[in-house]
Structure 1
Amino acid sequence: MLIGILQTGLAPDQLMGQMGDYPDMFQRLLAGHGFTFKTWRVLEGEFPPDVTAADGWLITGSKFGAYEDHAWIPPLEDFIRASYAAHVPMVGICFGHQIIAQAMGGKVEKFTKGWAVGATEYDFGGKTLRLNAWHQDQVVEKPEAAQVIGSNDFCSNAALLYDDRMFTVQPHPEFQPAFVDGLMKTRGKGLVPDPLLEAAEAKLAAPLDDQSMAGQIAAFFKQPRG
């Protein structure tokens, strides 16, 4: 099964040599599930020829806001809606979660209560999953077509399901602790309040449920569709 990665952001240059870019992280996360991958750098205007160019799509995280004025965002929203209409499965992570919600009629904004950073717990239907977070933007109004399947007190729309067509999550299952530590050092200082960075640093060794989320993503892509 070919998964097309729609790359909407870049890892910091200082971290890329050792840890790779976002598509590399997703390939590591989903290793062993039988997928092959191809990346389109949509943030540079590189788009697939059509929504059937892959068997499923994955939209990465990004430092950009879904609501910002960038030339590649409107065509990405068009692509999202076309994928939904064609029943080609799509997964969105962080920015991907947000841009899918926006394209489908939801609302994304810079959250007034600030940032979520580092190991964070989410309730998925009574099951607690701990995943790394790195975001201030949130889906503050979900689209009509979406069902909330994951949340916590800080982020009420942390995971959304659009029947069997789209599965999106706000946290970053692809971010390992070393990468979050690197983000705090390269992008966090002066951007994220120091107490939040200190709290996240204290939780760097906390066990994560990234492989549980990887299994959910893989199962979503592989489920039978008419």
Structure 2
Amino acid sequence: MKPEPLKICILENGLTPADLIDEFGSYPAMIERWISPFLPGAAFTYISPVRGEALPNLEAFDGYILSGSRYSTYEKAPWMLSLIDFLQALKEKRIAVFGICFGHQIMADAYGGQTTKAKNGWGVGAQVYEYVNGASPKAAASFIFHQDQVTTLPPGASCIGGSSHCTNGVLAYDFPAISVQFHPEFTTAYIQALATKFRGTLLPEEISNKALDSIESLEVDNSQIAHWAASFFRKHAYSIPVS
């Protein structure tokens, strides 16, 4: 019997700035464009906790991807608390979940760790991430845009990668969950647009200028992380065999 397509739900925790969405799309759309070439035939559904949409039945999907957000997990907004409950239930059911930026942070909070505002300030632009020996990803540059970090690891989590700016940058759990602080779904054009848009307002001039310089000097290839994440979902999916 032919296996059913892999069903992935992307949870939207943040919104693309209004003046950039026509050009770049929503965060779920960016995530689908990034990973879908590595999950041929997969069906993607978008649900938006940040907009107040109800979270789905846990077992309606083979796996979940959590987007980034401009919000901080320690704000403890009602939708965040509901998402934490949902993540704890996914752990109990051993349903695969992959977190990006805010998603990485709220997973850590849900599973017993802690996210705080980084003492070393904003990380923006491109930065090299290193990985522990034996981890599937290899050292490579990735796009970053954050001022919060996971500062206390949850029980059952291992740090398998990080950067000079963010030590706990990539986490793997002893249940089907992995997460990254960086943005594998971002393109060069989008991170440049963010660094330019927020220069002198949200971002200090110096931070924005350094970010733009880093994007010019470091080549980012997001395909390695897409392959890693896709392999993770294939391994833990209900509906298709491991290839």
Structure 1 equivalent of residue 164 of structure 2: 153
Structure 2 equivalent of residue 5 of structure 1: 10
Counterparts of 1:50-89 in structure 2 under 5 Å? 50-89=57-96
Question: CA offset at residue 224 of structure 1?
Answer: 4.8
Contact 1:3 1:37 (C-alpha < 8 Å) held by counterparts: yes
Gaps of 5+ in 1: none
Structure 1 equivalent of residue 231 of structure 2: 219
Q: Distance in 2 between matches of 1:204 and 1:30?
A: 22
Contact 1:58 1:90 (C-alpha < 8 Å) held by counterparts: yes
The amino acid across from 2:15 in the alignment is L
Contact 2:63 2:233 (C-alpha < 8 Å) held by counterparts: yes
2:220 aligned residue (205, 208, 221): 208
1:16 aligned residue (15, 21, 27): 21
TM-score, normalization by structure 1: 0.95
Structure 2 equivalent of residue 30 of structure 1: 35
Gaps of 5+ in 2: 1-5, 239-243
Q: CA RMSD in A?
A: 1.5
Q: Provide Cα deviations, 1:83-115, integer angstroms capped at 9, x if missing partner.
A: 011010000000000000001110101111101
Q: Provide Cα deviations, 1:6-33, integer angstroms capped at 9, x if missing partner.
A: 1000011111001101011011101222
1:173 aligned residue (162, 175, 184): 184
Distance 1:213 1:69, change over 3 A: same
Identity, % of aligned positions = 35
Aligned residue-pair number: 226
Q: Does 1:143 align with 2:154?
A: yes
Contact 1:125 1:150 (C-alpha < 8 Å) held by counterparts: yes
Q: Provide Cα deviations, 1:43-84, integer angstroms capped at 9, x if missing partner.
A: 122133321111100000000000103120111000000001
1:45 aligned residue (43, 52, 66): 52
Distance 1:112 1:85, change over 3 A: same
